Amino acid sequence: MEKQLLKIVKIGGNVINDDIALSLFLKGFAAIEGPKILIHGGGKKATQVSEAMGFQPQMINGRRVTDAATVEVVTMVYAGLLNKNITAQLQKYNCNALGLSGADANCILAHKRIVTTIDYGFAGDVDAINYEFINVLLQNNITPVFCAITHDKNGQLLNTNADTIASEVAIAMSNLYHTELNFIFELKGVLSTFEDKNSVITHINAEKYKDLVSEGIIADGMIPKLHNCFNALEKGVAKVKIGDASMINKANKLYTTISLK
Amino acid sequence: MEKQLLKIVKIGGNVINDDIALSLFLKGFAAIEGPKILIHGGGKKATQVSEAMGFQPQMINGRRVTDAATVEVVTMVYAGLLNKNITAQLQKYNCNALGLSGADANCILAHKRIVTTIDYGFAGDVDAINYEFINVLLQNNITPVFCAITHDKNGQLLNTNADTIASEVAIAMSNLYHTELNFIFELKGVLSTFEDKNSVITHINAEKYKDLVSEGIIADGMIPKLHNCFNALEKGVAKVKIGDASMINKANKLYTTISLK
């Protein structure tokens, strides 16, 4: 039997930090037909709350160091404020959303990152996705909304990269569904000329990816992003798309599709 | 067919504010056999976070006034920090918990309290419980853990009394289960002599309740608490118990049981 299509969409700070953009996106997301999952990052709010509470977030190589106070703040902001506001807005748009952290129903089991050179504190690396339970929700017409908080099954919550959660959820759900993973970011897709925001490369396969890296067209922060996409594809995800928030609207055709072949 | 027993337990600040007491309680709660639901209040943490962020919570007649900033804080603290830490701890004790606000899967629909004399701001009065979905969770051996945040299906989160949520959930679940509602507070039960913390009245029915009120033994804050209990019993809840955190342990027999007859 052919597997049913499942759309998995990940949004980050560029959508979350802007109330109007977020509301517009959520209205569009709610209108997506069939089973779907939303994964959201954190954005500026965690930094604002940290600062309001009188401590400065510590960053190493652009990544947040999660000390004991920070894991409290990100749990409050990601799993509380953002996750519940997103869920309530989706309910408004008649999407029966349910907000989840990785601790809920043991959906995302992780372990505290092993310290090699840099100690990122309570940062979690994903071990397992409870895809059977996520499927129970989907079968009941519920739309899971994941924040980027996981747990270690020993009572500890862990701060986890939202792109990684999106990939891991998509990979695990591929056991049951034909999965399409959508990464939404600030650009319309992977660009051939960075200065031209409309120069979207509409399709990248593994071979073309190698060429684009060797030509220097894909560089810097795009390399781990695309590496993450190909990892998902190699582990069973059917299709990956990268684009801006309008990508989820049927009318928009300008984005990058990534596939193995 | 006889209905299955469902235990619903509500904890408040006296357990939540004390890490050791909370951990001990959660270990005991995890050990309860059969389907169960936990409802938790907020406690001091919301006030601490409010103060750390530089604003003083406003109280009228001992109740929190929920302005726009406060609804953000209680969403962070109740639905984020407390709910996810409780869930992660229950997972540690092999209880497959899932933390929920009222917005999640539209579990608890409410409306913003109508202003008569006092404007409590974003305070929610409960309209409906999605007991069919809560039952889906129970049938999948999931333990729902509710914080005291509801929504209005129009995108607004609302701060709601946790005792009321416990009652309303118990009443709604009585459609499907033989429900036992457990209110945990700082005393061992309803006391006949306030100075003697062991003078627990072990059983109160509607007739005895009237006598105890007229004798002045039940007074002040205990009146709305017991009113809430009898309301639940009149609307289908099978049994209500009031006691301290040890009430959930089988060995403890000292608590107050409340029933209609």
Choose among A163, A177, A154: nearest CA to A106: A154
Res. B63: pLDDT tops 90: no
Is residue A96's pLDDT more than 90?
yes
Instruction: Supply the DSSP symbol for A123.
Output: B
Distance (Å, whole) CA B155 – CA A245: 20
At CB < 8 A and 24+ separation, what contacts does B14-22 make?
Answer: B14/B184, B14/B185, B14/B186, B14/B245, B15/B184, B15/B245, B16/B40, B16/B41, B16/B42, B16/B43, B16/B45, B16/B82, B17/B43, B17/B44, B17/B45, B21/B245, B22/B86, B22/B89
User: Hey, which residues does A8 pair with through a beta bridge?
Assistant: A37, A181
pLDDT value at B254 more than 80: yes
Residues in chain B: 261
CA B79 to centroid of chain Cα atoms: 14
Q: Which of B81, B92, B96 sits opposite A80 (nearest CB)?
A: B81
Distance between CA A50 and CA B80 in Å, rounded?
A: 15
Flag whether pLDDT at A124 surpasses 90.
yes
Chain B nearest C-alpha distance from A84 (Å): 7
Mean pLDDT of chain A: 94
Least confident of A47-56, A221-230, A241-250, B190-199: A47-56
- 3-state DSSP percent of chain A in helix, strand and coil, to 5: 40, 25, 35
Q: How confident is the model at residue A235 (pLDDT cuts 50, 70, 90)?
A: very high
The residue with tokens 């059983």 is: B203
What percent of chain B lies above the pLDDT cut of 70?
Answer: 100
Neighbours of A153 (CB within 10 A): 18
The pLDDT tens digits for A43-68 are 788 888 888 888 777 878 777 788 99
| pLDDT band, residue B52 (cuts 50/70/90) | confident
Res. B162 pLDDT band, cuts 50 70 90: very high
Choose the closest CB to B80 out of A80, A105, A154.
Answer: A80
Question: How many interchain CB pairs under 8 A, A with B?
Answer: 126
Per CB-CB distance under 8 Å, the chain A contacts of B53 are 49, 52-53
**pLDDT level of residue B194 (50, 70, 90 thresholds):** confident
Mean pLDDT along residues B127-155: 98
Residue B62 φ/ψ region, left for φ over 0, alpha for ψ in the -120 to 50 degree band, beta for the rest: left
Considering CB atoms only, which of B80, B98, B104 is closest to A81?
B80
Which residues fall within 8 angstroms of residue A209, CB to CB, at 6 or more apart?
Answer: A218, A226, A230, A258
Binary contact (B54, A49; C-beta < 8 A)? no
Q: Assess whether pLDDT exceeds 90 at residue B59.
A: no
Mean pLDDT of chain B: 94
Considering only the beta carbons, identify the residue of B92, B133, B142 that sits closest to A140: B133
Contact residues, chain B, for A156 at CB < 8 Å: 88
Nearest to B246 by CA among B13, B10, B8, B29: B29
pLDDT confidence of residue B174:
98
Query: B178: distance to nearest CA of chain A, Å?
Result: 24
| CA B175/CA B197 separation, integer angstroms | 36
Residue A1 has pLDDT above 90, yes or no: no
Q: Shortest Cα distance from A121 to chain B (angstroms)?
A: 17
Residues B57 and A246: their CA atoms lie apart, in Å, by 40
Average pLDDT for A86-104: 98
CA A85 → CA A80, B53, B186, distances in Å?
8, 20, 33
* DSSP summary character for residue A79: I
pLDDT of residue A17: 92
Q: Averaged over B152-179, what is the pLDDT?
A: 97
Lowest-pLDDT choice from A25-34, A58-67, B115-124, B242-251: A58-67
**For chain B, domain boundaries:** 5-184, 188-261
Mean local confidence (pLDDT), B28-38: 97
Q: Look up residue A55 and give its DSSP letter.
A: -
Residue B253's pLDDT is 86
Question: So what's the pLDDT on residue A215?
Answer: 94
Instruction: Report pLDDT for A44.
Output: 86
Q: Is the pLDDT of residue B241 over 90?
A: yes
Quickly tell me which residue has 């416990």 as its tokens. Answer: B166
CATH 3.10.20.740 holds for B5-184: no
- Kindly report whether the global pTM for this prediction surpasses the value 0.90: yes
β-strand partners of B112: B124
- For A135-162, what is the mean pLDDT? 97
B49 touches chain A (CB under 8 A): yes
Q: In what order do the strands lie in the sheet with A239-243?
A: A97-100, A143-146, A36-40, A5-11, A178-184, A239-243, A256-258, A203-204
Tokens describing residue A199: 């120069």
Mean pLDDT in residue range A128-134: 98
Concatenating the DSSP letter of every residue in chain B gives -PPPEEEEEEE-HHHHT-HHHHHHHHHHHHT--S-EEEEE---THHHHHHHHTT-PPEEETTEEEB-HHHHHHHIIIIIIIIHHHHHHHHHHTT--EEEE-TTGGG-EEEEEPPPSSS--BSBEEEEEE-HHHHHHHHHTT-EEEE-SEEE-SSS-EEE--HHHHHHHHHHHHTTTSEEEEEEE-SSSSSBSSTT-TT-B--EE-HHHHHHHHHTTSS-TTHHHHHHHHHHHHHTT--EEEEE-GGGGSTT---SEEE---
Please tell me the distance from the alpha carbon of residue B202 to that of residue B189, in angstroms, as a whole number: 8
Chain A residues closer than 8 Å to B89 by CB? 155
Q: How far is B99 from chain A (nearest CA, A)?
A: 6
Contact A103 B88 (CB under 8 A): yes
Radius of gyration of chain B (CA): 18
